[in-house]
Structure 1
Amino acid sequence: MSETHEDAPQKRSPNAAELAVWRTYIETAEEVRRTLASAFQETSGISPGDYSVMLALSEAPGRTLRSSDVATVMGWERSRLSHHIRRMEERGLVLRGPVGGDARGAAVSLTEVGARTFRSSSAAHLRLVREVFVDAFTPEQLATLHALTTALRTHLDTDD
């Protein structure tokens, strides 16, 4: 039995209470992001974007990924990532090269300098995550937050 148009759930705008939750979520997430970014830059000398690129590469086989895969992992547009990788390359943190003879793609590799920078910045990053985020919650609240963010991620993944 197929669902008719009249039986379909009605699409409606969020009500005032729902909008208040949404606004609090967006404003708080942005404040957490700004606070972490600023403190991370001060303590480690690298940007959160640098750290995210190096994290993706450090977890990859041979510390190398296609640039398109790095963009996907980070949720960045390829052009934004390309400019960022160029700046990281100028500082010796990464290298760009061809992908197994395929001229259409570029591989990004973490250099030894990049690997050392990543390792030395990881402790500061983890301390900041604890101070800014984890310490704001009880263990029970963290478990609830995990369940909520997992539900949101599942909803987003199934909405494609």
Structure 2
Amino acid sequence: MTEWLDEDEQRTWRAFLAATRLVQEVLDRQLQREAGMPHTYYEILLRLSETPGRRLRMSELAAQAHISQSRLSHAVARLEERGWVRRERCLADGRGNLAVLTGEGHAALAAAAPGHVAQVRRALFDVLKPDQVEALDEICAAILAGSAGDTLRG
């Protein structure tokens, strides 16, 4: 039997959806306007920049970026067209592909980062009190920990 949301849960759920969508839309618009890339591309470039050798197996990159393999493959194809990423065969086991951040991709990320960070600050951190930032961190960690099994299944 379905346990429906009560009035408080419904209000919280809808506020959560609205807030997360708004922040994502604001970040995406800023990156499109100032850097000519959607937020998903920025996230991919960032993940690659933070790994040794600036490379990741495609499946691991999809998992880290919380996007499907097919969506990642499409995005990487677009990033390859721009010269920001290249694919390489995984030499360790001969299976799968690696996404590799190029020098041009790293430069594009470095150019986009200051504006993106400023927008993150304006859209999220400037509107919260320090205790709210701490609470949000704890809330997000709990949601991610509780949803890990769902992510693996679906």
> In structure 2, what is the Cα distance between the partners aligned to 1:154 and 1:103?
32
1:11 shift after superposition: 6.4
Query: For 1:90-109, what aligned pairs fall within 5 Å after superposition?
Result: 90-100=81-91, 102-109=93-100
Matching residue of 2:7:
16
> In structure 1, what is the Cα distance between the partners aligned to 2:142 and 2:82?
39
* Structure whose residues are more often helix by fraction: 2
Matching residue of 1:86:
77
1:135 shift after superposition: 0.4
Aligned-residue sequence identity (percent) comes to 30
Give the aligned length: 151
> What letter is aligned with 1:71?
A
| 8 Å Cα contact 1:64-1:109 kept in structure 2 | yes
Matching residue of 1:135:
126
TM-score scaled to structure 2, two decimals?
Answer: 0.89
Matching residue of 1:4:
none
Q: Which stretches of structure 1, 4 residues or longer, exceed 6 Å deviation after superposition?
A: none
> In structure 2, what is the Cα distance between the partners aligned to 1:46 and 1:92?
13
- Largest Rg, 1 or 2: 1
2:102 aligned to 90, 111, 115, which one? 111
The answer to whether the aligner puts 1:36 opposite 2:27 as a matched pair is yes
Matching residue of 1:7:
none
> In structure 1, what is the Cα distance between the partners aligned to 2:10 and 2:81?
44
Matching residue of 1:61:
52
Any gaps of 5 or more consecutive residues in structure 2?
none
> In structure 2, what is the Cα distance between the partners aligned to 1:154 and 1:79?
24
Any gaps of 5 or more consecutive residues in structure 1?
1-9
